[in-house]
Structure 1
Amino acid sequence: MTVHESDGSLHSAMGVMGGFMQPQGHVQVLFNMALFGMDPQAALDAPRFCIDAVELVVPRAAGQAQQSKVFVEDGVAEGVVGALADEFGHKVVPTAGLARSVFGRGQIIVREKSGRMMYGGSDPRADGCAFGLY
């Protein structure tokens, strides 16, 4: 659930499932709406990335370099993929088809500030729907 900063009223009910991807997906979808002005469906449709959990939780031996693995979905700009690898040293794993399940799945229902209308979106990566009732 998200709320409007100004008065604490309900903004949206949302969720992105996917284990370790869940908090990453929440941030990416919310940023798409808040920073890039996307509607809920466009925010869910947008390509995602996922930082591999194993790289973050498995301890490394002293002196051993850690190279994080970042899964990127079809549609992430080539320049971004290149920068992740070349400038930041990540091991980039392009991901398509059924392997896209790593990016989670979500639904969102946004309630307009007036409270008179709701609209939503459903993730194209899986079956599902966003359904709001008054």
Structure 2
Amino acid sequence: MAFKVEEDSGVARRLPAGLVEVEIGPGTPSAEGPLTTFQAQRHRFTMPDRLRVLKVDCAYSGSCRPGFPWRIQFNNQLDLKLFREEMVTVSPPIEGMRVTPSGAQLLVHGWTKGRTKYSLRIDGGVQDIHGSA
């Protein structure tokens, strides 16, 4: 089954997150041949929420000690094929910084310093496996 949701103006839009129920009435023609549906068909699926950060913390420990990695947790699995390390920036820069994506999280490793306030920025191009950024 494939379909596209459009506004009355004809502009395509994204379905909201949550449960979606689709009913196809009897007599609906097939795209593959001359047959039509005999009876109503009902399909249910869940639309994922847009990608968002759920939590930022120190990986492996409750306290952020110098040199410990940071963990950024997302609500959806990240598209690892599209992710580039340059999509994460930190100010002031961290010596030896590297970013490791895994599932629905990013780990930021490097030589962080004690008593230093860091600012972390995640590029809007980071996408999940559903294409949401």
Shorter-chain TM band: under 0.3
- Higher CA-based Rg: 2
Q: More strand per residue: 1 or 2?
A: 2
Could you tell me the TM-score, scaled by structure 2's length?
0.24
Higher relative contact order (CA 8 A, sep 6+): 1
Say which structure is richer in helix.
1
Length-normalised TM-score, structure 1: 0.24
